[in-house]
Structure 1
Amino acid sequence: MRRRWPWGRRWRDSGQVTVEFLGMTPLIILTLVLVWQFVLVGYTFTLAGNAADEAVRAGTAAAPGERGGACQQAGLDKLPGAWDGTVTCTTGGGYVRATVQLQVPVLFPGSIGFPFTVEGHAGAVEEEKGD
Structure 2
Amino acid sequence: MPVRRDRRSDRGQVAVEFVGMVPLILLLVAAVWECVLIGYAFSLVGNAADEAARAGAVKDDGACVAAAGEHIGSAWGMAVDCGQAGDVYKATVTVRIPVLFPGLNFGELDGTAGAAMEREE
TM-score, scaled to structure 1 = 0.81
Distance in 1 of aligned mates of 2:61 and 2:28: 44
Bigger strand share: 2
- Post-superposition shift, 1:33? 0.7
After alignment, is 120-129 or 51-60 more displaced? 120-129
What letter corresponds to residue 57 of structure 2 in structure 1? T
- What SS does the corresponding residue of 1:82 show, helix, strand or coil? helix
Tell me which stretches of 4 or more aligned residues in structure 1 moved more than 4 Å.
none
After alignment, is 116-125 or 78-87 more displaced? 78-87
Gaps of 5+ in 2: none
Is residue 120 of structure 1 aligned with residue 91 of structure 2? no
Distance in 1 of aligned mates of 2:83 and 2:21: 52
Q: Counterpart of 1:3?
A: none
Distance in 2 of aligned mates of 1:96 and 1:57: 8
Is residue 52 of structure 1 aligned with residue 49 of structure 2? yes
The one-character-per-residue Cα deviations of 1:76-118 (angstroms, maximum 9, x if unpaired) are 2211232111010111422100000100112111x2211x210
Partner of residue 90 from structure 1, selected from 83, 90, 96: 83
TM-score, scaled to structure 2 = 0.87
Distance in 2 of aligned mates of 1:23 and 1:92: 58
Distance in 2 of aligned mates of 1:105 and 1:54: 22
- What SS does the corresponding residue of 1:97 show, helix, strand or coil? strand
Q: Counterpart of 1:31?
A: 28
Give the count of matched residue pairs: 117
Is residue 78 of structure 1 aligned with residue 78 of structure 2? no
- CA-atom RMSD in angstroms: 1.7
Gaps of 5+ in 1: 1-6
Maintained 8 Å contact 1:76/1:86:
no
Larger radius of gyration: 1
What letter corresponds to residue 87 of structure 1 in structure 2? V
What letter corresponds to residue 104 of structure 2 in structure 1? I
Distance in 2 of aligned mates of 1:8 and 1:18: 23
- What SS does the corresponding residue of 1:12 show, helix, strand or coil? coil
- Post-superposition shift, 1:8? 4.5
- Post-superposition shift, 1:14? 2.5
